[in-house]
Amino acid sequence: MVPRNVFYAQSGGVTAVINATACGVIETARKSKRLGKVYAAKNGIIGALREELIDTSKESRSTIAGLRFTPAGAFGSCRYKLANAEDNRREYQRLIEVFKAHDIGYFFYNGGGDSQDTANKVAEFSRDQDFPITCIGIPKTVDNDLPLTDCCPGFGSVAKYVAISTREAGLDVASMAESSTKVFVLEVMGRHAGWIAAAAGLAKDHRNDPPHIILFPEIAFNRAAFLKKIKETVQKVGHCVVVASEGAQYKDGTFVADAGAKDAFGHTQLGGVAPTLVDMVKVEHGYKCHWSVADYLQRAARHVASKVDVEQAYAVGRAAVEFALAGKNAVLPIIVRDKTSKRYKWHIEVAPLSKVANVEKPLPRSYISKDGYGITAKGRSYLAPLIEGEDHPPYHNGLPAYVTLKGTMVRKKLRPFKV
Amino acid sequence: MVPRNVFYAQSGGVTAVINATACGVIETARKSKRLGKVYAAKNGIIGALREELIDTSKESRSTIAGLRFTPAGAFGSCRYKLANAEDNRREYQRLIEVFKAHDIGYFFYNGGGDSQDTANKVAEFSRDQDFPITCIGIPKTVDNDLPLTDCCPGFGSVAKYVAISTREAGLDVASMAESSTKVFVLEVMGRHAGWIAAAAGLAKDHRNDPPHIILFPEIAFNRAAFLKKIKETVQKVGHCVVVASEGAQYKDGTFVADAGAKDAFGHTQLGGVAPTLVDMVKVEHGYKCHWSVADYLQRAARHVASKVDVEQAYAVGRAAVEFALAGKNAVLPIIVRDKTSKRYKWHIEVAPLSKVANVEKPLPRSYISKDGYGITAKGRSYLAPLIEGEDHPPYHNGLPAYVTLKGTMVRKKLRPFKV
């Protein structure tokens, strides 16, 4: 049997370790004689539709190995969700055409809940079309909101970045508080769930350590209570470090960030939750404040990735290929935590895509402290192992020596397609 | 001769490596039989005036060694400038009283230009008072704006952080630009000079690498030209990464940040230069944008410090003590770059405090590219060695194991003093 080619695509917001997953897929696939070349979509599923395929067989072994320590999406990702096949035969049909034209028998889709849904639909559609494609989802998301899997590759590294940044900025504020800045607000990602904000709690070893206040999307923001807590903390500790999820919101669902200043015409909207909170504190208490918005820095920070996260990211890539070779279809590898071991141990299991697609895993209330401003011991014991270990990238001239692909494109065979 | 005690104080904004300087001072002083104990001011010169002295002899050898890899000001710093002795005899007199009461013969003042000025004045005043104190300044500032010294301890690490963050966020934006974010703005420190913003230029190895635009305080901001350059870059590269100094300003000296939105009452002022720029780009071009404000994260980021910077920070601390032991007074150690060597080499020399006090070193125009949006080869060759080498801190439970002092206070002997 002539080996069929493999198709790999990255989807949605990228992470510090999604390329480690790509590395796991490609290195594992290269070892198998039953698989052909690995083609990667340029810019995610958009590239698949446009027949823009990168031939990874043209990349050297060391470049592929370097993906393990290179952040962001080396092949490009996209925010593009395929609609249901019934409403959208055109795009599914096109995918099958592209797969046929390039003799693709395996589709690995590396993304969040939406992508797992898409992978599942492609599996069904291809079966209906009598050109069955083995479709394997691969989990990825800094948001850590996929069900079944204990955690999501990408999350551990952003968690580590946020915990370290909180600790470091906290030391800075503590140094200066006597005569200068008393309140510092760090804004972190998490529009819908507080997983990332919760990770800041790992910086706290002792009662008065930062963060003193965490704002979760799950806990309705109460301006008066927040300002009271700020004042109490400054009076007790001398300063106050706040870590705010970008999704922090009032009881009625209004984002705190959206309640910030607008210009006279009402159309300007600057700032996020951090400057909005700082503004409240300044007006109410007159404290000198500083604020930071981590934004992409947090999810791209491969220089300080979690070793556990890198290993898991690689492992799900490898497992995806192994599942395909074992004849599995419409599944994804998930990370399972060994509940019987005292030391953190994990392994990979298989789960059906249908159970993951479009289901969000919320941050459990039991991980959030009673007052809503911190994490519990239970939350800590879930989070702590995920930031364990360092996996420093190699450096050159003082900077991480991230790899760049040649990105040789596969010759197109089909007519153009408008996305 | 009974050895006299040593007094050490940190001043102004802290850095990732100012404690490495403290480590150099204390470890070197501990080795000399001609010096007594090292007392450190709690919260800088304010602590000296209040007679709040931390007895570093109570700290273990490993805690002091740990200062080398612990960011921010372990003893506390402050923003407090002593006025001239003529206008302010009270504070100078008090300092001498505190020094007398605790048998202090050596004053090491670790700070920027203001602090060097203060150290110089204390030297003069103490001489006039017939209680001569050996006063040695020690350079420190992320702003890199001290004269005479080739660079300032603290700058190399913030430079490394900014260059790495620019590279990492740049990879993220490049991954997503086809269907999502096209413009990313990173705001960095530097109210008066563009040294820190310039360091972002080190991330650029190839023509189309980020940063595509750097905004310096030294180059008048031109809205139209900026927006044109954004559009050109997006059209050519597919995306655009901007690194903006917080001090970016219009020709008339108005900060770009201050031209942002205010609320209907005019008293709210959110955001800095990054959200202001993003707002311009959105309104003009409609591109999806993201922005980040690094703020304290950048100067506290010991986890990614420059090895050269750590070594220099330690070396100036050690040299300060050696100068004192050699009978020098009213001087500071400076870092001198060996101009004859091809490889970067540096050594410490001595300079008079009077020549450093209150003089700012601007970013040379020759380091900024002709169009004002990048750095030149000359700028790069100055900056590049300063971010060389990694000096990873030890980690515990996935987080840097920064040290905390016992902070045993010296018993007060004087009446209280109101600062």
CATH code at position A11: 3.40.50.450
Question: Measuring CA to CA, which residue among A253, A182, A179 is closest to residue A212?
Answer: A182
pLDDT attached to residue B83: 81
Q: Is A65 exposed, middle or buried (0-12, 13-18, 19+ CB in 10 A)?
A: middle
Among A43, A186, A270, beta carbon nearest to B279:
A270
The rounded distance, in Å, linking the Cα atoms of B171 and A379 is 32
Whether B268 has a pLDDT exceeding 50, the answer reads no
Q: What is the 3-state secondary structure (H, E, C) of B151-176?
A: CCCCHHHHHHHHHHHHHHHHHHHHHH
Write out pLDDT tens, residues B375-410.
Answer: 999 999 999 999 999 999 999 999 999 999 999 999
Secondary structure of residue B303 in the 3-state scheme: helix
Kind plus residue range of the DSSP H or E element containing A91: helix A89-101
* Residue after which a domain boundary falls, among B251, B280, B300: B300
Structure tokens at A137: 């989802």
- Whether A43 maps to a domain, the answer reads yes
Contact across the interface for A293 and B296, Cβ inside 8 Å: no
Which pairs count as long-range contacts for A378-381, CB under 8 Å and 24+ apart, including other chains?
A: A379/A198, A379/A201, A380/A201, A380/A202
The rounded distance, in Å, linking the Cα atoms of B400 and B68 is 13
Query: Can you give the length of chain A in residues?
Result: 419
Domain count, chain A: 2
The first and second tokens of residue A23, run together, are 């590395």
Residue A82: the pLDDT is 85
Residues B313 and B278 in one domain: no
For chain A, the 3-state helix, strand and coil shares in percent, each to the nearest 5, are 40, 20, 40
Of B266, B283, B300, which closes a domain? Answer: B300
Instruction: Name the residue facing A291 among B71, B203, B295 (closest C-beta).
Output: B295
* C-beta of residue A64 within 8 angstroms of C-beta of residue A9: no
Task: Say if B122 is an interface residue toward chain A (CB within 8 Å).
Answer: no
Q: By three-state DSSP, how is residue A391 classified?
A: coil
pLDDT in the model for residue B271: 56
Residue A359 pLDDT greater than 90, yes or no: no
Whether residues A181 and A214 fall in one domain: yes
Confidence of residue A263 (pLDDT cuts 50, 70, 90): very low
Collect all residues with Cβ–Cβ distance below 8 Å to A88 and sequence separation of at least 6: A82
Residue B197 sits in the same domain as residue B89: no
Closest-CA distance of chain B to residue A124, Å: 26
The whole-number pLDDT of residue B187 equals 97
Please check whether residues B194 and B321 belong to one and the same domain. Answer: no
Say whether the ipTM exceeds 0.95. Answer: yes
Cβ-Cβ contacts under 8 Å, B276 against chain A: 270
**pLDDT tens column, A182-195:** 999 999 999 889 99
H-helix segments, A247-292: 273-285
Say what the pLDDT of residue A15 is.
Answer: 98
Residue predicted with more confidence, A360 or B346:
B346
Better-scored residue on pLDDT, B341 or B410: B410
- Asked whether residue B15 is domain-assigned, the answer is yes
* Rounded Cα distance, A134 and B96, in Å: 81
Per residue in A35-58, pLDDT tens?
Answer: 999 999 999 999 999 999 999 999
Cis before A352 (ω within 30): no
Phi, psi (degrees; rounded to nearest 5) at A9: -140, 145
Interatomic CA distance for residues A303 and B244, integer angstroms: 22
Region of poorest pLDDT, from A16-30, A295-309, A395-409, B255-269:
B255-269
Residue A148 in domain: no
DSSP A201-257: GGG--STTSSPSEEE-TTS-B-HHHHHHHHHHHHHHHSSEEEEEETT-BBTTS-BTG
For the cut 70, the answer to whether the pLDDT of residue B267 exceeds it is no
B406 in a structural domain: no
Over 90: is that where the pLDDT of B88 sits?
A: no
Residues A399, B171: C-beta atoms closer than 8 Å: no
B21/A contact by beta carbon, under 8 A: no
Residues facing residue A292 across a β-bridge: A186
Mean of the per-residue pLDDT values of chain A: 94
Q: Domain for residue A374, yes or no?
A: no
**Average of pLDDT values for B324-330?**
97
> Phi and psi (nearest 5°) for B41?
-70, 135
Cβ-nearest to A167 among B264, B267, B402: B402
Instruction: State yes or no: pLDDT of A30 exceeds 70.
Output: yes
- In this prediction, residue B81 carries a pLDDT of 85
Q: HSE on the CB side for A208, CA within 13 Å?
A: 11
Q: What is the CATH number of the domain that holds B211?
A: 3.40.50.460
Structural domain includes residue A278? yes
Give the Cα separation of B279 and A377 in Å (integer).
Answer: 41
User: In terms of domains, do A164 and A288 share one?
Assistant: yes
Whether B86 and B132 map to the same domain: the answer is: yes
How far apart are alpha carbons B325 and A261 in whole angstroms?
57
Q: Among B42-46, B157-161, B328-332, B359-363, which is the least confidently predicted range?
A: B359-363
Q: Which of B270, B300, B330 is the last residue of a domain?
A: B300
CB A93 within 8 A of CB B192: no
**pLDDT-based confidence at residue B261 (cuts at 50, 70, 90):** low
Identify the bridge partners of residue A4 per DSSP, sorted by sequence position: A35
* Same domain for A68 and A107: yes
Q: Mind listing the pLDDT tens digit for each residue in A377-389?
A: 999 999 999 999 9
Tens-place pLDDT, residues B176-233 = 999 999 999 999 999 889 999 999 999 999 999 999 999 999 999 999 999 999 999 9
Q: Is A53 helix (H, G, I), strand (E, B) or coil?
A: strand
Q: Do B14 and A172 touch (CB under 8 A)?
A: yes
pLDDT on residue A103: 97
Identify whether A227 is part of a domain.
yes
Does residue B112 share a domain with residue B15? Answer: yes
- Give the pLDDT band of residue B263 (cuts 50, 70, 90): very low
- Give yes or no for residue A262 having a pLDDT over 60: no
* Cis status of the peptide bond prior to A139, with omega within 30 of 0: no
Instruction: Write out the two tokens for A68.
Output: 């393990």
Neighboring chain B residues of A78 at a CB cutoff of 8 Å: 176, 178-180
Q: Does A60 touch chain B (CB under 8 A)?
A: no
Q: Which residues of chain B have a CB within 8 Å of the CB of A290?
A: 295-296
| Residue B35 confidence (pLDDT) | 98
**Residue B143 appears among annotated catalytic residues:** yes
**The length of chain B, given as a count of residues:** 419
Beta bridge partners of B111: B139
Catalytic residue among B143, B145, B150, B309: B143
* Position A260 pLDDT exceeds 70: no
pLDDT exceeds cutoff 80 at B264: no
Is residue B147 in a domain? Answer: no
Residues B24, B114, single domain; the answer is yes
Q: Which residues constitute the domain of residue A280?
A: 155-300
Give the mean pLDDT of B150-179.
97
- Find the angle CA(A51)-CA(B238)-CA(A301) to the nearest 5 degrees: 100
The reported pLDDT for the residue numbered B2 is 82
Residues near A12 by beta carbon (within 8 Å), at least 6 away in sequence: A44, A77, A78, A79, A111, A112, A114, A115, A140, A141
Question: For an interface test with B, which of A155, A158, A164 has the most B Cβ atoms less than 10 Å from its Cβ?
Answer: A164
Residues B122 and B237 in one domain: no
Same domain, B294 and B338: no
Q: Residue range A72-80: average pLDDT?
A: 95
Confidence band of A264 (pLDDT split at 50, 70, 90): very low
Interface of B with A in 348-407 (CB under 8 A): 384, 387-390, 392, 395, 397-400, 402
Angle at B201 between CA B195 and CA B205, to 5 degrees: 155
Average pLDDT value over all residues in chain B: 94
Q: What is the pTM of this model?
A: 0.97
Residues B231 and B311 in one domain: no
Angle A305-B402-B406 from CA coordinates, rounded to 5°: 165
